[in-house]
Amino acid sequence: MFALRQDRLHGAVAAALGEIAPGLTEARLGCWRVDCGENLRLTATLDDEWFQLRAPFAAAHLHGEAVPRCAWEALLRNGLLPGGAKLVTDPDHSVIHAALELPLDLDATPPAEIAGDALGNTLTAKINRAVDDLKQAARPHLNCNNRAARCHSTAEAAELPALCAAAGWPSTPRNEGRIAVQLEVPHGYAQAIVAWDDGLRATVDLYRTEHSLSPSSRQAIAVMLLQLGGTARAVRPAVHSESGRDLLVLQAYLGPHPSARELDRILSGLSVAAGMCQREIGLLSDEKISSRYLSARGWSAIGGVPASSPVRFT
């Protein structure tokens, strides 16, 4: 039964992608090349119930020794991107690329929609939104007029605790319709704030500085977090800098109509990701340790890392 539903999901994903790019090619089962025009080609993959998108960023010119020099700017840019799109690196740090991972809950998708007959169904809308977000992330120059924050209703805000309970995560109400969820982080503590913006989003505040970090700390922390973002599905590392202070966060986007299963996957992923970087960020905030971290990888700290706005990549 699951194999049949998986086949139907594969067909629905292929149909949705075909609407976006008539020249769609399937390189292998569940892996497509999507020609979006404007010299942009995406790679789309269906892995079990995860839909994944990848695209080169800045024509793949930012690689090797260039990564630590622009890693902080990539984190700043991540904080401005819509949806779940993100800039990340592979484990070898060789190149920065745009990525997006989207959980697809088969059990929450009506069979008629899985069949992919209707272009306006939930699955097609999700994939269209994901592709649009990734195209935005892959552009060298960011258009900051992101998708407008949607106004959540009182009923939607009231349903959040029930959604978390159904996902198996107790929650605590906060103001403005937000809820707090304590994550499962071994030997640590992390809390996700779940709230509406252009969809439902979970955010974890990892580390807040009292003063601006040194250039070496920014480089080292950013390189580590970009690699984490390339490993942890649907988890986006980002930084917000204001008045000489830096706030490092992990974000995950669930979209406008998440299921309890999708929320469980997202909160579980944030728990793992937070556990992988909390202690390390604290250590790398020390300038001597961060300098040694960079040196061990053949890099050296540089000055002039921006504190407030991302550079215009070319």
Q: How far apart are CA 311 and CA 304, in angstroms?
A: 11
pLDDT digits (tens, 9 = 90+) for 77-100: 999 998 999 999 987 778 899 999
Q: How far apart are CA 210 and CA 243, in angstroms?
A: 10
Domain covering 2-143+153-296: architecture: 2-Layer Sandwich (3.30)
pLDDT digits (tens, 9 = 90+) for 256-313: 888 899 999 999 999 999 999 999 999 999 999 999 999 988 887 665 444 555 545 5
**Radius of gyration (C-alpha) of the chain in whole angstroms:** 20
The reported pLDDT for the residue numbered 68 is 81
The reported pLDDT for the residue numbered 154 is 59
Answer whether 96's CB lies under 8 Å from 57's CB. Answer: yes
Percent of the chain with pLDDT over 90: 46
Q: Name the residue with tokens 């299921």.
A: 259
**pTM of the entire structure?**
0.87
Q: Give SS3 for 89.
A: strand
DSSP conformation class of 70 = H
Q: At 218, which amino acid appears?
A: R
Q: Which helix (H) or strand (E) holds 202?
A: strand 200-208
Q: How far apart are CA 255 and CA 127, in angstroms?
A: 11
**Please, which residues bridge with residue 249 across strands?**
205, 238
The reported pLDDT for the residue numbered 303 is 53
